[in-house]
Each structure stands twice: as C-alpha cells, then as structure tokens.
Amino acid sequence: MFDLSSLGIGYGSLLMLMSMIVLLLTGMQLAFVTCLVALVFAVGWFGVAALPLIASRLYSFVGGYVFLAVPMFVLMAALLDRSGIARDLFDAMKVFGRKLRGGVAVQTLLVAIVLASMSGVIGGETVLLGILALPQMLRLGYNRKLAIGTTCAGGALGTMLPPSIVLIIYGLTASVSIGDLFKASFVPALLLAASYIVYVLVISCLHPEYAPLPTEEELAADADVNYFKALLFPLLTVITVLGSIYTGIASVTESSALGVVGIMISAAIRGELNFSMLKDSAKATMSTCGMIIWIGIGATALVGVYNLMGGIDFVESTILALSGGSVMGTVLIMMLILLVLGMFLDWVGVALLTMPIFVPIISGLGLDPIWFGVVFCLNMQVSFLSPPFGPAAFYLKSVAPKDISLGEIFSSLLPFIALQVLVLASVIFFPQLALWWK
C-alpha cells in the first residue's frame, strides 16, 4: 500500500510535523491528533505488526508512579478553590494592593508565588487566580491585557518553583538528582517572578490609567481581614508539602497526598469540608486528569514511534551539523527547537521527545545537566503561554468571563513571553544563577 519509510527520516520528520500542525489547526483534540499521527506512522513506516507498540506505551505511561502526583496536585487545587482558603490568602495580600499603583497585580503575583510552592502542576493555579484575581482587577478597571497577562503568567509559575512535575520528569529522563534540580530552580524562579513584578510596576507607572487605585469606598469595604486565619492555613499547607519533601517524611507523590490531607483538615477546621465539596473536587480531578494524561499518552505514543524510526540519531546529527560543534551554537539550536515544539506540544511531549537526545549532547559538551534542567523548565514556562497551544491560556479561558477570547489572552501574554525569554537568556549566559550553591 503506502510505505512511508521510503521518505527517509528527514522528510519523514517533516511530514510528521506538518500533518500534526494541519490536524491541530482543524480543531481536532490534541491528544487524539498525536495518537493518530503516531498510529499512522507506525503502520506506514513499519507495517501493521508495529501497532501494539502504541498500546504498550500507553500502558507504560499510565502506570508510572510519579504521574500520581498530577491528580494529587489537581485535587489539591480543586479543594483549595472550593474552600475559602485561597480567597482568604488573596484577601490578606490586599495589603499590597491598597496604596501601590499596580498593587492588585503585584498582590496576584505574590499569591501566585505562595500557591506555586504548594502545587507542582500547571492548571490548578491558573484556574484559581483566574477565579480570584482576574475579576478583581477587571472590576477595578485595570487594563485588560495587563490583568490577563499577570494572571496567566503568574499561574504558570507553579512548575517553575519547587515542587514541580516538570523538574521531576526531567530528573527521571536525564537521571539527575531531583533535589538538586529543585535547589537550582529556586533563584531563576524568583528572578522570573521578580521580573513580572517589576514589569507591572514600571508599566503602571508609565501608564497610570492601566492600574487605577482603589477608591476610598472600596478601601473601607474590605478593612476586616483576619490575617491570622487567612495566612495560617496556606502556610500550613506550604509547610506540609514543601516540608515533607525537604525534611523527607515522604516522597514527592506522597507529599502531594499529604498536601491534599492538609487542605482537607484546614477546610474541616474552617467548617467548610463536606461531602459535596469532596465529590465536586474529585469530579474536577477526573476531567482535568483525563485531559492532561491523554495529552501525555498521545505524546508518548508519538515519541515511541519517532524513536523507532531513528529520530534520535537524526536530530542529534542535525543539531551537531548545524552548530558546527560550537557549544553556544548547539545550546541555541536546542532552545529554538524547544520553543518551536513548545508552541505545538504539551511539555510532557516535549520532555519525552527531546531530553533523551539533548541531555547526552549537553553532558558531552561538558555542560551541567542540572543547569540544563532549569533551562528546560524555563523553556516550558514559555511553552505554557505561547500560541497556538498554550495550556495556561486554555486554563484561564475555562474560567475567564465569556467575552475574553483566546486570541485576546494570547496577545496579552506577549510581553510576559518576552520577559521569560529574557530570564531564559540570563540563565543561559550566567549559569551561576542556577548553580551558585554548587
């Protein structure tokens, strides 16, 4: 019938990429696009006998213990958002929003940092901030793009600060210490968050109309925050999650489970815990996980077929040929590949696809794989925001007011993508930012 392998790996890769992009643009579900392309290439390249490979990869992917951290983190976010904990935390941070121009945006980013130290997945945080912070800023008359961008970029920080599922998966594929990765990501993560804050302050200074101050009335209306109650429970949760990872009571997956228990206890003490809340949270977890994990399934299927086609050698030799062996050239080509793939694929797919190829090259060049892990994580920050496939934008869209279109979200994100690229460049040129503790 048709034998794709006669194309050769070069044109094969191109055809694979093109067919994926075309199918994606028709609006077909990403998870199914990658599965379909993987199956068609398996049959077209190797024949029908190669099909069971896809089933086997599906099985291997869903059974991985670390992926259990995904539903735990999602469940945690769902519970947080159904209890009043996150709302109280946000209210307590109002202290920054009062007198300062751009204060509510800064407040949003600070809450994002706290939430990011509880959660390790992308999604939950963006949804939370989209529910809590975005309406607040819109009501105060903030510039829409600034409000949307802050919410989305802040929400994406969840995987930049430890704990982070991106760093965990990188650690697994590159076989480097996850603890070291967490340590190394800390300064770059704070640098990224700081760059957002500075941007917000500068732009609201230049354009005061972008970030109006609250009126006297509004200030009077929310004077009665119980700081103790508002800060106690989030802090307890951060301490449970990060504490159990760093003090080592539990593994990362177990720590996320402890986080869920921590939030349940907090909600119970606050008198908010009931069965319907648990049921709703579990339901939300099922549908979010179904979505995230199936994207991963599609990606892992595609990666398996591509590796079998000889993709690893092809990409490796292409990179080395293009860079002519120069260290910086190689790194920059990799960054370009990561940025482009990040536009169309989910981070799980990008990690599974590129890391087995990139990490050995990086180590071979004498560069530190821990540093590269942080660089990779920053790249994935960009991928969360970059169109047409930008998970953070999708999550925000799912909770944003109906008149906010995906196009508007993506255009709001451009300045934040620029900041991400800036921080990425700093970490590439100044590796000490990640490796100062070594």
Partner 1 sequence: MKKTIHPPELDPSEVPRNALDRCIYKLGNLLSLLFIFTVAISFYEVVMRYVFDAPTIWVHETASFLGGCLFIYGGIYALATNKHVRVVLIYDVVSDRTKRWLNVFHHIMGLCFTGMLSWAAYQMTKDAWLSPLGEVHLETSGSAWNPAFPALVKAMILLTIGVMFIQFLLHLIQELNGLRKRDHV
Partner 2 sequence: DYKFKFQSSDPVGDKNFQIQKEWTKRVETMTNGRIKIDLLPVGSVFKHTETLDGIKMGILDGEITAVSYFSGKDPAFGLIGNTVGAWSDTSQLLQYINYGGGYQLMNELYKPYGVKFIGGSTTGVESLVSKVPLDGVDDLKGLKIRAPEGLVQQVFAAAGAAPVNIPGSEVFTGLSKGVIDAADYTVFSTNQKAGMNDIAPNPVYPGFHSLPLIDISMSLKKWNKLPPDLQEILTVSVRDFAQDITTQLAIADRKAVAEAKANPKITIHNWSPEERKKFREIARTQWAKYAKQSPNAQKVYDSITQYLKENDLL
Residue choice 8, 14, 59, 139 for contact with partner 1 (CB under 8 A): 59
Residue 22: burial class (beta carbons within 10 Å; 0-12, 13-18, 19+): exposed
What is the number of alpha carbons within 13 Å of residue 234 lying toward its C-beta? 28
Please confirm whether the linkage preceding 388 is cis (ω < 30° from 0): yes
**Residue 304 to residue 311: CA distance in whole angstroms:** 10
Instruction: Compare residues 179 and 387 and give the one whose CB is closer to partner 1.
Output: 387
Decide: 169 and 373 in contact? Cβ < 8 Å. no
Residue choice 155, 158, 369, 373 for contact with partner 2 (CB under 8 A): 369
Instruction: Compare residues 174 and 417 and give the one whose CB is closer to Na ion.
Output: 417
Q: Which of residues 287-316 bind partner 1 (CB under 8 A)?
A: 287-291, 293-295, 297
Partner whose footprint covers residue 67, from Na ion, partner 1, partner 2, none (CB < 5 to 8 Å by kind): partner 1
Count interface residues toward Na ion (CB under 5 A): 11
Residue 83 is a binding residue for Na ion (CB under 5 A): no
Torsion of CA 318, 21, 68, 279, to 10 degrees: 170
DSSP letter for 273, please: -
Q: Tokens for 21? A: 């992009």
Decide: 39 and 51 in contact? Cβ < 8 Å. yes
Q: Tokens for 392? A: 């953070």
Residues sharing a CB contact under 8 Å with residue 384, sequence separation 6 or more, in sequence order: 122, 156, 159, 347, 390, 391, 392
Q: Which of residues 152-211 bind partner 2 (CB under 8 A)?
A: 168, 171-179
C-alpha radius of gyration, the chain, whole number: 22
Residue 310 backbone zone (phi > 0: left; psi -120 to 50: alpha; other: beta): left
Select from 61-69, 215-223, 237-245, 387-395 the region that touches Na ion (CB under 5 A): 387-395
Partner whose footprint covers residue 116, from partner 1, partner 2, Na ion, none (CB < 5 to 8 Å by kind): Na ion
Instruction: Compare residues 158 and 214 and give the one whose CB is closer to Na ion.
Output: 158
Decide: 304 and 53 in contact? Cβ < 8 Å. yes
Contact code string over 82-121 relative to partner 1, x by CB under 8 A: x-x-------------------------------------
CB of 313 to partner 2, least distance (A): 7
**Residues at the contact surface with partner 2, assessed by CB under 8 A:** 46, 49-50, 52-53, 56-57, 59-60, 65-66, 168, 171-179, 245-252, 303-304, 307-308, 310, 312-313, 356, 359-360, 363, 369
**Residues at the contact surface with partner 1, assessed by CB under 8 A:** 23-32, 35-36, 39, 43, 51-56, 58-59, 62-65, 67-68, 71-72, 75, 81-82, 84, 131, 244, 249-250, 253-254, 257-258, 260-261, 278-280, 282-283, 285-291, 293-295, 297, 387-389, 391, 394, 405-407
